[in-house]
Structure 1
Amino acid sequence: MLVLGIESSCDETGVALYDSTHGLLAHQLHTQIAMHAEYGGVVPELASRDHIRRLTPLTHASLQQAGKTYRDIDAIAYTQGPGLGGALLAGASFANALAFALNKPIIPVHHLEGHMLSPLLSEEKPAFPFVALLVSGGHTQFMAVKGIGNYTLLGESIDDAAGEAFDKTAKLLGLPYPGGAKLAELARLGQPSNLHFPRPMLHSHDLNMSFSGLKTAVLTAVNKIRTETGCDAELPEQIRNNICREFQDAVVDVLTSKAKQALKQTGYQQLVVAGGVGANWQLRQSLNNLPEVRTFFPPMAYCTDNGAMIAFAGAMHLASAQPAAGFNVKPRWPLSQIVQ
């Protein structure tokens, strides 16, 4: 069965073709980073309009890459939520209109489920059951994954997601958009210093997390350094790099500690890490070093939002999917609504 996947939840337009027998056949992605950089963040209206412009050309390119035609498509999967309302509507409208024209089943997919299953696109993939760490700009959650559609929420961030904290801290330090990736890059250049940021909820005895206080600690440290040095403009380069290092150390320490706890609590020996922050070099290094645990990451190309994960998740649900007479989107769609 050949499934076309459409992803348009935020600032990346993803289109892919997944064959249940032959695997991923095509993957096309357009990022809007350059467009939004001028504004220092995602502008929802611009994002929605850009998705509309990109969906048809990317679909044509995917079909050409796979050597397929529209007639070869067996079903169409699209991101129903969560995400930006207008951006989701762009993808949902395109997917549903195409499904209607081709008389094919339409499969709505939860964006986070797509991320959670994306490591299964790797050559070396986990087997069920496993613990999943979903870590992105909007979500940080631990899930027990027993099979397709069989998920249990173990814990989550009670305020800022890890990726959100990265981006907000980067903006506080004056780093260009998208700041989280730049902060991680500068953290490589950081040196040990007298800085020490809190590890929030490290000893909370549950799997919940909090990162808003960490961001506040960075702001307090920056203001203190500026007062002591009389520097009202940009921070000295090495001090800024040291802050990036200590901030990243704190986030990675918390996520690693909670991952250990989640694995112990479930008794599982496999950890899957997915979402944009899953590309972070230090987090990968730390989680790869967990003893007696196999850690799986999606290929780097599938860490950020993409159509491949949506096509794959759609293919996994295809057996129970039914053609839809209409469509809707769910900008605020808790993953807990699809867990058991």
Structure 2
Amino acid sequence: MQLFRISTRCYRVLAIETSCDDACVSLIDRYSPNKPPKLIDERKLTLNSKLSGGVVPTDAAIHNRKNISLLVNQILNDNNWNTTNIKPDLICATRGPGMIGSLSGGYQLALGLSIAWQIPIVGVNHMLGHLLISRMNSNGENPNFPFYSLLVSGGHTMFVLSKSLFDHEILVDTIDIAAGDALDKCGRELGITGNMIGKETEIFLNKFKDQWNEKVDIMVKEPMLNQWDRKDILQYSFASFNSQVKNTLKKFYNNEIPNDDKIRARLLFNFQKTIFQHLISKIKLAIEKNSNNIKINDFVCSGGVSSNIYLRQMLIDQLKPLGIENFHYPELNLCTDNATMIGWAGIELYENGLTTDLATTVIRKWPITELLKLEGWKKHNNKQIDI
């Protein structure tokens, strides 16, 4: 078995993220165990999916394979981390969950560099990266465990209770598509174009804030509400929103997108608001059901959709009365997929005793509840944990 020996007191990290359509790389300096690490540099190239109307897995895989090596070489050269005396001491790379083709491009490169440089590698769970990134600026002290997390993006939507670095419970999960996917589909149906539909929708809506609460002909309702044969279901369902947009256009607008931007803004706002309310309604129900078990003061919202300012305010307004005192949102550039979150999650795992064996590969499905059940973890010599 290969053994690596580096001090946890001071080391340099190369982080790689390629789980979907972004090729991301980051350099992090862990210059002190008692202070937050320093982000030296980060790079990101996103596949242009405007013409295809969404991410095509084969296109994403080719994009990542073509670009991740170039990005790594570029960032190392630009920061002089490619010399005999200055190079990474640890590699952190996304191992899953995600698209196999996309994941493989980054993870196989990371394994190769680990062998070439004779340094350890940590294969990181993508969702753990989103969950932990809000802790980086406080050096892992805030939020402290236990805390709640809403992880919401175009590929995942779940409400999680985290009791420790290795102990996570999914309180609410989606039974169909993710919230971000629903937002994108609604946006496209109502004429929003671009590579980042959610972001473009928010930009568009911010131009028409005076229209948000004006009346409009619309058919939209929140899914999974209580009825005679169903009560207090802790599940998300976002697939119906696309149909609701189509039904609205069919009934009120002759199957055409309204030419009036003010009407479009009212429609978009109402669909977005209802999607967000669906997120929050189930969170409130889960918190109420959990209130007698453990007191939680901290709430994290992360993932691409978490950059939406209106969602952030809705969460604060509706969850504060339930006893949530502290709300944690990543910096906007750290909400969407990025390598820095993978680097920080890898640091937390490494400093709690874990590295990853070289004889490992990527995995499409890797529930955060089964973080340590995946084969390939190794205890390193600096720390000892019970797995």
Aligned to 1:249, which of 262, 273, 285? 273
Single out whichever of 311-320 and 205-214 deviates more from structure 2. Answer: 205-214
Percent of residue pairs identical: 31
Equivalence for 2:117:
102
Q: Distance in 2 between matches of 1:40 and 1:313?
A: 32
Secondary structure of the 1:72 match is: coil
Q: Partner letter of residue 296 of structure 1? A: H
- For the Cα contact (< 8 Å) 1:186–1:245, is it kept in 2? no
Across the aligned residues of Structure 1 and Structure 2, the Cα RMSD in angstroms comes to 2.4
Equivalence for 2:205:
187
- For the Cα contact (< 8 Å) 2:219–2:244, is it kept in 1? no
* 2:304 is the alignment partner of 1:279: no
Equivalence for 1:207:
234
Secondary structure of the 1:41 match is: coil
Secondary structure of the 1:200 match is: coil
Q: Distance in 2 between matches of 1:262 and 1:239?
A: 35
- For the Cα contact (< 8 Å) 1:14–1:27, is it kept in 2? no
- For the Cα contact (< 8 Å) 1:107–1:318, is it kept in 2? yes
Q: Distance in 2 between matches of 1:43 and 1:206?
A: 33
Q: TM-score when scaled to structure 2?
A: 0.80
CA shift for structure 1 position 339: 7.6
Equivalence for 1:259:
283
CA shift for structure 1 position 11: 1.4
Aligned to 1:19, which of 17, 29, 33? 29
Q: Distance in 1 between matches of 2:203 and 2:18?
A: 27
* 2:309 is the alignment partner of 1:297: no
Structure 1: state its 5+ residue gaps. Answer: none
- For the Cα contact (< 8 Å) 2:122–2:350, is it kept in 1? yes
Larger radius of gyration: 2
Q: Distance in 1 between matches of 2:58 and 2:275?
A: 32
Equivalence for 1:51:
64
CA shift for structure 1 position 215: 2.4
Aligned to 1:332, which of 356, 362, 365? 365
* 2:329 is the alignment partner of 1:312: no
Structure 2: state its 5+ residue gaps. Answer: 1-10, 374-387
Aligned to 2:92, which of 71, 74, 77? 77
Single out whichever of 253-262 and 59-68 deviates more from structure 2. Answer: 59-68
Q: Specify which structure has the higher proportion of helix.
A: 1
Equivalence for 1:172:
189
Q: Partner letter of residue 300 of structure 2? A: V
Aligned to 1:153, which of 152, 170, 185? 170
CA shift for structure 1 position 2: 2.4
- For the Cα contact (< 8 Å) 1:142–1:154, is it kept in 2? yes
Q: Cα distance 1:196–1:114, how it changes in 2: closer, same or farther (>3 A)?
A: same
Aligned length: 336
Q: Cα distance 1:38–1:295, how it changes in 2: closer, same or farther (>3 A)?
A: same
Single out whichever of 275-284 and 286-295 deviates more from structure 2. Answer: 286-295
Q: Cα distance 1:233–1:23, how it changes in 2: closer, same or farther (>3 A)?
A: closer
Deviations along 1:206-237, one digit per CA (max 9) or x if unpaired, are 4311111222212111111223xxx7465432
Deviations along 1:302-334, one digit per CA (max 9) or x if unpaired, are 001000011111111114334523231112333
* 2:305 is the alignment partner of 1:288: no
Q: Cα distance 1:53–1:152, how it changes in 2: closer, same or farther (>3 A)?
A: same
Equivalence for 1:216:
243
- For the Cα contact (< 8 Å) 1:226–1:235, is it kept in 2? no
- For the Cα contact (< 8 Å) 2:151–2:301, is it kept in 1? yes
Q: Distance in 2 between matches of 1:339 and 1:288?
A: 33
Q: Distance in 2 between matches of 1:242 and 1:339?
A: 46
Q: Distance in 2 between matches of 1:24 and 1:219?
A: 48
